[in-house]
Structure 1
Amino acid sequence: MQILVLGGTTEARALAEQLCARGTRVTTSLAGRVAAPRLPRGEVRVGGFGGAEGLAAWLGGHGVDLLIDATHPFAGTISFNAARAAALAHVPLLALRRPGWAPADGDTWHLTDSLADAARALPALGTRVFLTTGRMGLAAFAHLDELWFLVRSVDAPAPPHPSRMEPLLDRGPFTLDGERELLRRHRVDVLVTKDSGGAATAPKLTAAREAGIPVVVVRRPPVPEGVPVAATVGDAVAWVAARA
């Protein structure tokens, strides 16, 4: 069986590891936005396919039996391209999507639908911002000259970005003690995050709750309807096993 995993997430790497251990041929596709990504087990390709039609042609040309969309919840159009390509190529598709976060007692969350909406909400919430939405999309905050930003990302951010900014190059998983110290040391008074879900970056939410810091949470974008969804890597492995 030949499987194509649209990856770039912790879950995608764990899935490739488990499937390869079962003797399944796995190719993981990475978008190529990170300079030095953590490579999964199995074969790896980097770069786009040329839209849904290009992906469909790749599926057919490489004899792919199953397609698994394990991309980041904010990966944009790739999930819709995957749904369209799977239909064109007549290849079963599964979406592996980690559940989103939910507020707990003591949280002060401000939900928005976009980075632009998050930027509009910030001036009324604080002046020292911990921005954890990645290096893509910093232009939405570039005009907020009166605010100071701690920007955490895997690779160095490029302009346009906020003028008063300190980059913090790091990647998860992060610890609760580490996030507590980060908020304290930088005197952060507002946190901005996307609803990425998962445990690797969740400690910042707990640290913000403990410190009484408001959190601006960007909601997830829409996803294709009618695609079966697995919430865990184990569920995705079981889905593959049922079709082996």
Structure 2
Amino acid sequence: MRRVLILGGTGEARELARLLDGDTAFDVTLSLAGRTAAPLPAAGRTRSGGFGGAAGLAGWLRAERAGALVDATHPFAAAISRHAADAASAAAVPLLAVRRPGWNAGPGDRWHLADTLAEAAALLPALGTRAFLTVGRQDLAAFAATRLFCLVRSVDPPAPPLPADHRLVLARGPFTVEDELRLMRDHRIDVLVTKDSGGDATAAKLAAARAFGLPVLVVRRPRPPSGVPVARTPAEAAAWLRALPHALPPGATP
């Protein structure tokens, strides 16, 4: 039996845990950072809270005799991904990143790309006066100085600083196009701001912006750490795990 640690917080992580649940070849732990007050339920065993950086994660992998590490965190969780790469290398544990495909602009889209949140905040005033911010509650500080009206959507209440003129909507996806059209119409939104998170759960806002002809300010996602193999779906990740050589994990004895 191979012990697998999945670094989660995404739908892909929950789906991978479900695919492996009940498979006697694996002993799976799904790790959640604990930043969401009421995470969605997941199959199998879960743990909540950080590890104490790369060194702490490497120590956990060694202590638990883990045979594989899967980084299925959010595409923008760059620090956690770096820690995962460093920890897997230090503990000599195979590492896989799961990254859903990013979004692509289509006919009729008016996309403006930024490499960072700070760059997006600087570009925003030239694109509109009433912004729909869908960048996650931990990245709102980059827009705190803006004088625009901002509709802010988040799963949990965000901590300050926030834009002075804002309206907060607490909601969890998936959202329908009709939901997004209504929300944008009711708040007279004229520009959408989002990170290139990819996936279907929050893609409806892009279709709604296209329908209204609105500009969309898209923050590009960071690249995974160099040398880490990437699966695009939980099914690909499960296949990768099943194809690993049946070697003993570090520190184990026959």
- So what's the TM-score if we normalise by structure 2? 0.93
Gaps of 5+ in 1: none
Identity, % of aligned positions? 60
SS in 1 for 2:137: coil
Q: Which residue matches 1:232?
A: 233
TM-superposed deviation, 1:31: 1.1
**1:90-239 maps to which residues of 2 (within 5 A)?**
90-145=92-147, 147-239=148-240
Q: Which residue matches 2:51?
A: 49
SS in 2 for 1:137: helix
Deviations 1:59-109 (A, max 9, x none): 010111111000001112111111111111111111111111110011101
TM-superposed deviation, 1:45: 1.2
Q: Which residue matches 1:16?
A: 17
TM-superposed deviation, 1:37: 1.1
TM-superposed deviation, 1:184: 1.2
TM-superposed deviation, 1:164: 0.7
Which amino acid is the alignment partner of residue 71 of structure 2?
D
Which amino acid is the alignment partner of residue 93 of structure 2?
V
Runs of 4+ with deviation above 4 angstroms: none
SS in 2 for 1:21: coil
**1:55-94 maps to which residues of 2 (within 5 A)?**
55-94=57-96
TM-superposed deviation, 1:6: 0.3
Q: Which residue matches 2:42?
A: 40
SS in 1 for 2:138: coil
2:157–2:170 Cα contact (<8 Å) kept: yes
CA distance in 2: counterparts of 1:128 and 1:62, whole angstroms = 50
Gaps of 5+ in 2: 247-254
2:97–2:224 Cα contact (<8 Å) kept: no
Aligned pair count?
Answer: 243
SS in 2 for 1:120: helix
CA distance in 1: counterparts of 2:93 and 2:99, whole angstroms = 19
The range that moved more, 135-144 or 102-111, is 135-144
CA distance in 1: counterparts of 2:97 and 2:159, whole angstroms = 31
What root-mean-square deviation, in Å, do the aligned CA atoms of Structure 1 and Structure 2 show?
1.1
CA distance in 2: counterparts of 1:82 and 1:139, whole angstroms = 26
Which amino acid is the alignment partner of residue 155 of structure 2?
V
The range that moved more, 43-52 or 1-10, is 43-52
CA distance in 2: counterparts of 1:53 and 1:157, whole angstroms = 29
